[in-house]
Amino acid sequence: MPLVPKRKRSSKEIRDELKKIYVEKDGRMPNLSHMQKQSSSRSTRFLLKLVLALLVISAVAWGGFLLWTQTLFENTDELHVTFEGPDTVKAGETVYYTIAYENIAGTSLEDLTLTLHLPDTFTITQTSPEPTEGERWNLADMTPQSDGKIMIGGMFRSDVKSAQTLQALITYRPSNTHANFQTLENKKVTVDSSVLEIAIEGPQKSLTGDEVTYTLTFQNTGDNTMENAAATILIPEGFEITSAEPAQEASLKGDPLSPPLWKFSTLLSEESQTITLKGQFVSTSEGTQTLTAQALFVNENDAVTIQESQDITTEVMNGALTFHLILNGTTESQTTVLGKNLRGSIDFENTGSETLEGLSFTLTFDVPNGTTPIVWDEADLGGGEKKGAIITWSEETLEELGELSGGEEGVIDFTLPLSDTMDLEIQSDVFTMTLAALVKKSGDLMEDRAIQAPPITITLLSDTLLDAQTRYYLDDETPIGTGSIPPKVGQVSSYGIVWILTNSLHPLESVVISTTLPSHVNWTDQASAEVGTLSYDPVTRVMTWSISSLPTSINQAQAWFGVGFTPTQDDVGTFLKLANPSSLTCTDSAVDLPLSASAGSLTTDLSDDPSVSTTGVVVE
């Protein structure tokens, strides 16, 4: 069939056909000059609306939950609270505070509770009305515009110049809601002075060794009787008290190193107490020395608050004789262990120009209970004579002490061995050594003056020892090792590492014994301890024996663990290393001081095992 050419369409016909395609339902043509985003489908619009609705419902639900079931800790304008009273107070003086509260809301307030939070150093003496319990008041419901108040009276026993805060917290519920609200009001108070006052008098100048007297005057200047008041004096290190009137009380919390203290269970209004303190400055004291008297309040836990402090200074001048007591290389108090020696020296010098005559030294041992653990039969007193608890060096035993010319000096050496063991029922593990010098004559002046050196306190630590052994058998011949004895090349063997801890003098706390295993040794998962626990860290390769507390009733404890190894040809003829050195750390609970001990590294040497007769040298 022959092709018939199509008729060419006119421009008008093409426009009419396009118009039919793009014309809107209302007969209007859309704007085709820019692209329009296609409208989302009905299902998409529905899902979006659903999610939005759910979010709104969730927000409303959570808001309602918080509103109806939670306590909202925030200040509101429904309850107005004020804390009225002095901003500046005197410790020991009665002060009064009023907590006033008013309902300024348009609705009633119910379930009202007022709680006071007061400093520990504030003591309530009276309240109106009485609290419901402790420092809490259950208040009556409040109608709109109603008010109320609570009055408290009491006194501060705080440090002078301290800032204190009193706090009133009121919880309530408006009658038109189920939510609780809180209103918080703080009162800032400054303690700027105290009813307790103290003064101190004493010499402006003194020579070392001369007796000096200090007088403290302690007074209650307030209108009320003060309970549990106290006076103390902070003294420089070189001042030794020889007497006190009245006698000083036991130290705070039983600490013998705390300053001297005088407690007064009651101190009446305007009552004063006088304390007389006598003592001397020791040979090492020189220059300006400051003593500080303090007035204190003391609570039932021996916590103190400082009410007033007064200083006095005394210019101390050395005499011609200077000397020191040196023990084990130091003039300080120290710790040591049984079986050691106390190596002492007394160095002395005449720093003046006049000749000193009749010089003597006395070393006094002050023992709280029983006797010292010194083995006197083996002691070298360096020419001294012992009578009772005193060693004396004088010109009768040391000729050089008869006369000491200006610029001349000397040294006395002595050795005091400590026993290897001791019985705490008859011997003391703490004692103090005090050296005093006596000069009878200086030039043409008869002095007869005694001077003290600072005392040295010796504290014995517990007799804790650590021993580490390589064993194949325990003492009862129970095998804890496997493999050959001696170890052989290429054969797997395991031996036991045994720790033996001995201790009898003091109980121990926080005992930790540890060692690190070499890379060619592995733990066999075998371990046992008589007390405490054994643990192994495979990352650090550290084996640890931990004991929380070890009483003196357990004077020996043992633990062991197994280590496996395979000797190589290079190990033939040697002891193969099985464990690095062991270390022990703990606390001596009797003196609250740290203790440490150590034991050497261990090998396949079985010489500590009585059940094995051969050596542990590696063989082929």
552 three-state secondary structure? coil
What phi and psi values does residue 429 have, to the nearest 5 degrees?
-95, 5
Buried b (16+ CB within 10 A) or exposed e, 432-466: bbbbbbbbebbeeeebebebbbbbbbbbbbbbbeb
**pLDDT above 60 (res 128):** yes
Asked if CATH classification 2.60.40.1170 holds for the domain at 465-603, the reply, yes or no, is yes
Pairing type for strands 304-317 and 205-207 reads: parallel
Residues of the chain with CATH 2.60.40.10: 196-317
Asked if residue 138 lies in contact with residue 113, where contact means CB atoms within 8 angstroms, the answer is yes
Burial of 308 (0-12, 13-18, 19+ CB in 10 A): buried
User: Do the Cβ atoms of 383 and 397 come closer than 8 Å?
Assistant: yes
Phi, psi angle pair for 55, to nearest 5°: -65, -40
Question: How does DSSP assign 119-134, residue by residue?
Answer: -TTEEEEEEES--SBT
Euclidean distance between CA atoms 87 and 89, whole angstroms: 7
- CB neighbour list of residue 49: distance below 8 Å, 6 or more residues apart: none
Assess contact for 437 and 282: CB atoms under 8 A: no
Average pLDDT, stretch 71-81? 63
Q: Percent of the chain scored above 70 by pLDDT?
A: 87
CA–CA separation, 596 and 524 (whole Å) = 28
**Angle at CA 38, nearest 5°, toward 37 and 40?**
120
Look up tokens 């092709």; give the residue.
Answer: 3
Q: Tokens for 409, please give them.
A: 């000096």
What is 321-460's CATH number? 2.60.40.740
Tens of pLDDT along 112-122?
A: 999 999 999 99
Nearest CA among 542, 555, 604, 610 for reference residue 577: 604
Q: Spell out where 226-303 has E strands.
A: 226-234, 239-245, 261-267, 272-281, 287-298
Q: What is the pLDDT of residue 88?
A: 97
Average pLDDT score, the chain: 88
pLDDT tens, residue by residue, 131-148: 999 999 999 999 999 999
pLDDT surpassing 50 at residue 613: yes
Q: Where in the chain is CATH 2.60.40.1530?
A: 79-193
The token pair at 279 is 């003592």
**Closest to 408 (Cα-Cα) out of 444, 482, 354, 462:** 354
* Structural Rg of the chain based on CA atoms: 44
Q: pTM value?
A: 0.62
For residue 56 the two structure tokens come to 């709104």
Q: Is the pLDDT of residue 172 over 80?
A: yes
Q: Write out the H or E segment, with its range, that includes residue 358.
A: none
Distance (Å, whole) CA 175 – CA 429 = 72
- 3-state helix, strand, coil split of the chain in percent (to 5) is 10, 50, 40
The pLDDT confidence band at residue 209, using thresholds 50, 70 and 90, is confident
User: For the chain, what is the total number of helices (H) and then of strands (E)?
Assistant: 2, 42
3-class secondary-structure state, position 66: helix
How far from the centroid of its chain's Cα atoms is residue 26's Cα?
A: 89
State the average pLDDT over residues 557-578: 97
Indicate if the pLDDT at residue 65 is higher than 50. Answer: no
Q: Please give the CATH topology (third level) of the domain spanning 196-317.
A: Immunoglobulin-like (2.60.40)
* Residue ranges, CATH 2.60.40.1170, the chain: 465-603
- Site of tokens 């836990």: 301
Q: How far apart are alpha carbons 330 and 299 in whole angstroms?
A: 39
Count of residues in the chain: 620
Q: What is the pLDDT of residues 486-545, one digit of tens each?
A: 999 999 999 999 999 999 999 999 999 999 999 999 999 999 999 999 999 999 999 999
pLDDT at 39 over 70: no
Least confident of 24-33, 220-229, 270-279, 367-376: 24-33
CATH number of 79-193: 2.60.40.1530
